[in-house]
Structure 1
Amino acid sequence: MKCRGIFMGHQISLAVLLAFLLVVVSLALLELTAEAARRGKGPGCGGDLLDGTEQNGDIIMVMASTFWNSGGPVITKNLEIEGGWQVKSGESCSASTVYTDTSKFEFVGPNTRSTANEFGAPVMTIDPSVLTLTVKHIIFKQGGFVPQGGGLNGVISNSAYILLENVAFVDDGGGADTGAGLFLQVRGNSRLVISGSQFLTNTAQDTGGGFELHVFGGSQVTLANAEVRGNRSLDGNGGGGRIVLNRGTVTIANSTFSGNLGNQGFGGGLSVEGVGSGPNYLILQNTVISGNTASFGDDDLHISGNVTVLDNQIFLPIVRKSLN
């Protein structure tokens, strides 16, 4: 009887284990097959970019247009914001509706992008709590004046990963004190990737005409296949862009900086400034920085402070300067 009891106990334990495994597998399959929640915004759907009801993992589909006010939202959730969509003929869209598929929509990107405008505030701001964010196929246009980051502003931290792909930052009669198109602090071992994007004709009253990046705490930034053209800093360094490194690494690959102006400053094309003890690295791969102008010198590329430059794909240090 004792042996039989032990055997029956084993049978019950095995049955419980199998039932538990079945539940786990079912939940996993449900998660794999479930579509992410999608929300349509912009012309044809209405509404601002965000309304506060978004959840982590949502996909915001921005309808293709040449003008639409974003509402200047602060992004606090882990989202994907994707332009280049339009409502199919005969279908309707509501900004308050959550969609589980794209059957009512048509994707016309990446060649056709969606324009997001704002006046007197950044088009979008990234809150430090965001850990993952993807923004694709969006043209940022700022029509008013802001302190920093007319198109995109914010702080990236806590090992976050941010991807900006096929986006453009274009002046629309506005400007900023610093980082007219984009101003971001990248901290806490985070990573920022900007791919296939443009910074065009932006004007900063101080530094960083096209963009300004502050890279700290072991963080990494990659700028790939970018065009930085016709930007101006009126009273400081970095007409095309300004990068401040404090224990960070920036890689610029397959990109072009041309026709930028650093008025009353250094580095018409790009200014890279190392602060702190480092290590700080600037990696340049197949990148052209030429045809720029700066009032105080280093028309194309200005480097100061504790920065090690690795040029092309050889990765040999070629420049190292002390802080001016």
Structure 2
Amino acid sequence: MGLIKEFLAMVSFVWVFGCSCASGLLEHQFYRNSCGAAEMIVKEEVKTSVLTDPSTAAALLRLAFHDCQVDGCDASILLGEPNSLPMELKSDKNFGIRKMGIIDMIKTSLEQHCPQTVSCADIIQLAAREAIYLSGGPYIQVLTGRRDSVSASKQRADKQLPASDISIDEFIRIFGENNISLEEGVALIGAHTLGRTHCRNIIDRLQPRTDPTLSPVFSLLLKTVCSNPYLSDITFAQNDATVFVFDNRYFLDIQDGRGLLKIDSEVARDPRTRPYVVMFGRDMMRFFDLFTSGFLRLSSSKVLVGEEGEIRKDCRFRNK
């Protein structure tokens, strides 16, 4: 397995540098001269956090995705005003985003080693990379050199983030706008292999009538776990049977009617996406390969580089 992961990492490295999707000044090991220890500091902080709480990996991956889906990967998701909730977190679509304190800890360490050098936007993507790998997924050669946004907006988050009941057509449109192929998009939704889903996001599939695409046994289980709609904000269902492991179990589960979200069921049934679901269920290395290329495309799309934005001293606030 170790040799396979190293091979995939090498393939990812070659793929990015041979691809027109790399944006502006993003490059591999951007901080090698200005802050050589940057990626190691991120790695050690994330490793400690994941060992302490395995659910950290899913939280960091979701944080990275949600940051990138609003105006690109620019750490706008962390930006707020003193003594208030970060602006984008005020969007209901960011409900449940957590573990931002890990990014703050990493930033504090980096500021001690190389002040105002490593962007919060890069920290988020590097932390997600480590979370994926520590959970058993591929090691992704993430490009760096992003700059941080100087603004954030609840309204933009409301508009750009996908809803929990997103349709398959909207799913395809969103990834297409980021130059992500359909196969890569299906691989990216495989990130649902990690973590849990709040009952509030699936309650409509259970009441007042059960979604017929759910298997009878699975729907009964969900009705038991999510039995109280008044507690749906604090109760959860596991995304798949290997909740802390980044693997292809998700693709096997959704083929058998065990997809939590509407999109999970639709991607397994729609003739445009089902062939990829079946393929990833059979071939985990293919899933890892396409997830890697999709992740690199998404994390390189619409980023701030060069003199754009800023390098924040504190990830939560603009520089003064």
TM-score range, shorter chain: under 0.3
Structure holding more helix per residue:
2
The two structures have a TM-score, normalised by structure 2, of 0.25
Q: Which has the higher contact order (CA 8 A, sep 6+)?
A: 2
